[in-house]
């Protein structure tokens, strides 16, 4: 048996183990709303298109999308976050219940506004839909001390019964370095791996197991420009590993694939899976961290987990809107294309 076939078989065994694992997701639950209108005419009031409303969909975004991806990969998922007593919040809870995702860790608060990202898409009957504008509805302030404590308690209780804790921090306050530090110091989580994706404060999460930032997030966190320079990629990755005291790190690089860092091994450069003619990158980072965390929880090495995350990311960016990857799609991708790395 060739090396590639052995690696592919190992990856398939990891994916087949997903239904045996449980992952807690702590983070900012977002409602991703898509409103599609057909171009009707140009307005007389202003030089803008008038769209005839055709359809509206609301799907999980942010941490809710990471949870949704885990569920579609066959993982038992326990989301912890906050929604408001509003329509988007109720729709998220209904969506989770329909998927048989536990909602007892999702706090409902009347003073909170469910984070909602509304994308208006326009097109003709037989043309591709193009996003023309996005409107974000956000809470006026971060969760109060009472809600923060409730989030901590729910995350601690669920993580005790889980094989991994996924932290999805979009900057709205449901997942913070302070909450995660308290979980590490007082939560008695033992060897439960903690995997972090943070939009704005990556390096403030110190002592977690792994992180899955994209290249712009790394550049912003370190105040550097990486570009196409491999040596700069390695230097930046090693700096993040040291500052965050990580065991594993995956930096996603768009059409350049991803680089996996492990505290015991040399960095691995993984080329993009599938076409680089991307349909939509909305929510792709949620898919990557979901697959990576599930693989780590199932006993994968950093490289194996990164390979599976790379397959999942390559599949999901070919779908429009906020989407997920199923376990069958992942297994099919592994069968069709053996895992690859680029030498340096």
3-state DSSP call for residue 239? Answer: helix
Strands (E), the chain: 22-27, 29-42, 49-62, 76-84, 106-109, 115-123, 130-137, 164-169, 194-198, 210-211, 248-252, 258-262, 265-270
Active site residue 328: no
Decide the pairing of beta strands 22-27 and 265-270. unpaired
The active-site residue, picked from 32, 109, 256, 286, is: 286
**CA neighbor of 112 nearest in space, from 89, 91, 92:** 89
CA distances to 142, 184, 233, 235, 250 from 253, rounded to whole Å, are 31, 30, 10, 15, 10
Q: Are 12 and 331 in contact (CB under 8 A)?
A: yes
The span from the CA of 256 to the CA of 218, in Å, is 15
**CA neighbor of 326 nearest in space, from 316, 336, 337, 338:** 316
Catalytic residues: 286
């Amino acid at each position: 048996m060739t090396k590639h076939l052995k690696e592919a078989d190992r990856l398939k065994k990891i994916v087949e183990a997903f239904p045996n694992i449980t992952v807690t997701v702590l983070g900012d639950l977002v409602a991703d709303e898509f409103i599609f209108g057909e171009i009707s005419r140009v307005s007389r009031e202003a030089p803008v298109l008038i769209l005839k409303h055709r359809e509206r969909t609301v799907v999980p975004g942010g941490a809710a999308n990471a949870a949704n991806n885990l569920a579609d990969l066959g993982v038992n998922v326990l989301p912890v976050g906050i929604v408001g007593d509003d329509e988007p919040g109720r729709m998220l809870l209904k969506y989770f219940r329909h998927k048989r995702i536990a909602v007892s860790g999702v706090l409902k608060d009347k003073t909170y506004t469910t984070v909602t990202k509304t994308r208006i898409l326009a097109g003709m009957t037989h043309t591709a839909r193009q996003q023309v504008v996005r409107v974000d509805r956000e809470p006026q302030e971060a969760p109060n001390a009472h809600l923060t404590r409730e989030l901590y308690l729910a995350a601690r209780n669920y993580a005790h019964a889980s094989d991994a804790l996924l932290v999805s921090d979009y900057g709205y306050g449901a997942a913070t370095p302070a909450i995660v530090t308290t979980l590490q110091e007082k939560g008695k989580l033992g060897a439960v791996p903690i995997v972090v994706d943070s939009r704005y404060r990556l390096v403030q999460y110190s002592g977690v197991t792994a992180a899955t930032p994209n290249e712009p997030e790394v550049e912003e966190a370190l105040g550097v420009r990486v570009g196409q320079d491999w040596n700069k990629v390695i230097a930046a990755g090693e700096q993040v590993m040291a500052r965050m005291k990580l065991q594993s790190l995956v930096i996603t690089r768009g059409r350049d694939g991803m680089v996996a860092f492990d505290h015991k091994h040399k960095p691995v450069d993984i080329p993009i899976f599938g076409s680089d003619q991307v349909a939509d990158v909305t929510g792709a980072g949620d898919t990557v961290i979901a697959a990576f965390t599930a693989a780590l929880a199932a006993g994968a090495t950093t490289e194996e987990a990164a390979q599976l995350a790379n397959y999942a990311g390559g599949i999901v960016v070919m779908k429009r809107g906020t989407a997920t990857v199923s376990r069958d799609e992942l297994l099919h991708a592994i069968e069709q294309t053996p895992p690859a790395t680029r030498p340096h």
